[in-house]
Amino acid sequence: MQAQKAQFIKFLQKNGRASATILAYAKDLDQLLVFLSGLGVLEAKDVTTDHLEQFKQSLKDNKYTLKSISRKLNSIKSFFKFLIGEGAMTMSPATSVSHPKYEIAPARILSPLEYRALRDSVKDDVRMYGIVELLLQTGLRIGELAGLQLQDISIEKSHLKIRAYESHEARRVPLNSTAKAAIEKYVGARPKTKNTTLFITKTGNPFLIRNIRTAVNRYFRIAGIEGAKVNDLRHTFVVEQLKAGIPIVELSHMVGHKRLSTTEKYLAFLNGTKTEPKKLKIAEL
C-alpha cells in the first residue's frame, strides 16, 4: 500500500492542498499501514471495516483526542475514496466507520486588557513587537506573516500584498497607523542581509512559522494570558473589526476567508453590540 499512499500524496499536491494537510495525511496513513502490517494486512483490497474499527479503538486506547481520531479517519476515508476513483477498489471499507463526536472549542477572543498586556510584554523586542502588532492589526495567518517579503510592504499606500499561500488566494490587506509604525520600527532595526524575507533571525535566515509560534506563546505566558494561541490574534482582529462596523463582505475578503459564512460565525461574539456599516477604515486595537 506504500506505493498507493505515495500516489495519493501526489494527488493531494497536484490539487493544491495545503502542505500541513498533506503532511498530516501522510503521517495518519503511515500509522494505519503500520497497524495493518501488524495484523498481516498488506494489500488495500484486503482491508476490512473491522480492521479500521480496530485501528480506531487502538487510537482511543492510546489516549488520542476525539478530534485527532476524527482527523485520522478523515485521512483514511479520503485515501480509500481516492483508490476507488483510481479503479483500484470498488468499495471503501471506511464508509461505515463513524467519526467520534466531539465539541469544537469556540474561538478565543482576547480582551483589550489582554492584548494590551501582550503588547507591553513584547515592547522591548522590536521584532516580536512588529510580529504581534501585525498579527493583531491585520488578522494575517501566521503562515502569511512568515512569508512576507520586504517588497510586499507599501507604507506609502498603506497596504500589504499577501501572495497566494498554498490554497489561499493573493489579496491586499490595509495597514492602519499602528501596524505601519510597528513595521517601520522593525525594518529600521532589521539586520542587514540580502534575504528579502521581512521577519528574519539575527543570522539573516527566515523566521520560521514554528519559531514564531513558540515565541508568541512565550510572550503569552509572560503577559499572564492563559489558554490563548497565535491564531487567537486573528480571531480577535475579526471580532474587533465587526464591532467597529467594517462591512462583513469587505472584512471577509480582507482576512482571506474562502466563504462568507466563515466570517459570519464571528457575529456570535458581538454579544448584542449594534454596529452600523461604514466605509472601510480599519479599527486600531
Q: How many CB atoms lie within 10 A of CB 200?
A: 17
C-alpha cell at 59: 487510537
SS (H, E, C) 58-120: HHHHCCCCHHHHHHHHHHHHHHHHHHHHCCCCCCCCCCCCCCCCCCCCCCCCCCHHHHHHHHH
Strand pairing category for 171-174 and 159-162: antiparallel
Helix, strand or coil, per DSSP, at residue 282 = coil
Residue 100, pLDDT above cutoff 80: yes
**pLDDT confidence bin for 187, thresholds 50/70/90:** very high
Q: Please name the residue that has the C-alpha cell 520560521.
A: 208
Overall size of the chain counted in residues? 285
**Model-level pTM?**
0.73
Confidence category of residue 107, pLDDT binned at 50, 70, 90: confident
Q: What is the mean pLDDT of residues 126-145?
A: 95
Among 147, 121, 127, 106, smallest CA distance to 18 is for: 147
| Structural domains in the chain plus CATH codes | 2-85 (1.10.150.130), 112-270 (1.10.443.10)
Q: Is the pLDDT of residue 70 over 60?
A: yes
